[in-house]
Amino acid sequence: MSAIDDYINAIMKKGVEEAREDGSAATEAHHLLLAIAAHEGTAAHRVLTEAGLGRQAIRDALDREFEHSLGAAGVSLSSFRLPPPSRDPDRRLKVGASAGLALERGFSACGGKKDLRPAHLLLGVLDTEIGTVPRALSLAGVRRVDLMARVRETLASETW
Amino acid sequence: MPAEDVPLPQDPADALAAVAALRRLADQLEDSAVEQAMRAGWSWPDVAEALGITRQAVHKKHAKRLIAAGVTLRRRH
């Protein structure tokens, strides 16, 4: 198996873990972003880290986005005090629509699978103005287009 | 803030994100509330009736994780 296959498998596996931790029924694009941020040794990881987007910072931004979106409907998360539910560690999760789109966009950001690198996957996750990821980045004060430009720069100058 | 004081978000992106977040919150609350009820000795038919869904649906969605968590499940209330 090639290095990019190993990387994609690792990201999907970590994405599932992130989704489980969330109590989500599917792995979504923001879970892939968390996974990319947690996987060291790639240009994608470095770009995120340099932008102040370590795994925990992204988690915090996603939590803020959740609270902010609920707030738009007049709902406060702090109003609910039920205990956290038990999780099924063996639950099979689907690949959510947003993760599917992110992967498609990542694949189409490169010339062909032979050229696919981690930074392409990050581009795929970032390449939308709609949904949880761009909203969370905006709330964190990060300019998504600048981040994408930085990722593209690394693609031109770095091999992995 | 009372719900009647909250205007609908003007930006469609905010309104749609609110829908997605409310669905997610509802799922989280369902997981917590069903577990709380089953730990308190409720039956599947009673939980299903309270949620307005079928007993089969609630069982399919929650039984495995509650068994894995060691919750004693009752068939009847």
pLDDT of residue A83: 83
Q: Cα angle vertex B21, ends B19, B25, to 5°? A: 115
- Per-residue pLDDT tens over the stretch A96-106: 999 999 999 99
pLDDT of residue B2: 52
- Residue of B13, B22, B36 lying closest to A70 (CB–CB): B22
In Å, how far is B23's CA from the nearest CA of chain A? 10
pLDDT of residue B4: 54
Size of interface A-B (CB pairs under 8 A): 75
> How far, in Å, CA of A90 to CA of A145, rounded?
38
**Residue B76 burial (CB < 10 Å; 0-12/13-18/19+)?**
exposed
Q: Does B27 touch chain A (CB under 8 A)?
A: yes
> How far, in Å, CA of A130 to CA of A128, rounded?
5
In Å, how far is A84's CA from the nearest CA of chain B? 6
Q: Does B60 touch chain A (CB under 8 A)?
A: no
Cβ-count burial B22-42 (b if 16+ within 10 Å, e if not):
eebbebbebbbbbbebbbeeb
Mean predicted confidence (pLDDT) in B15-21: 94
- Residue of B13, B28, B68 lying closest to A89 (CB–CB): B68
Angstrom CA distances, B52 to B45, B55, B58, stand at: 10, 9, 10
pLDDT of residue B7: 65
- Per-residue pLDDT tens over the stretch A7-64: 999 999 999 999 988 888 899 999 999 999 999 999 999 999 999 999 999 999 999 9
Look up the pTM and report it: 0.89
In Å, how far is B76's CA from the nearest CA of chain A? 22
Residue of A nearest to B70 (CA): A86
Is the Cβ–Cβ distance between A125 and A133 less than 8 Å?
Answer: yes
Contact B25 A77 (CB under 8 A): yes
* Residues of A in Cβ contact (< 8 Å) with B13: 130, 135
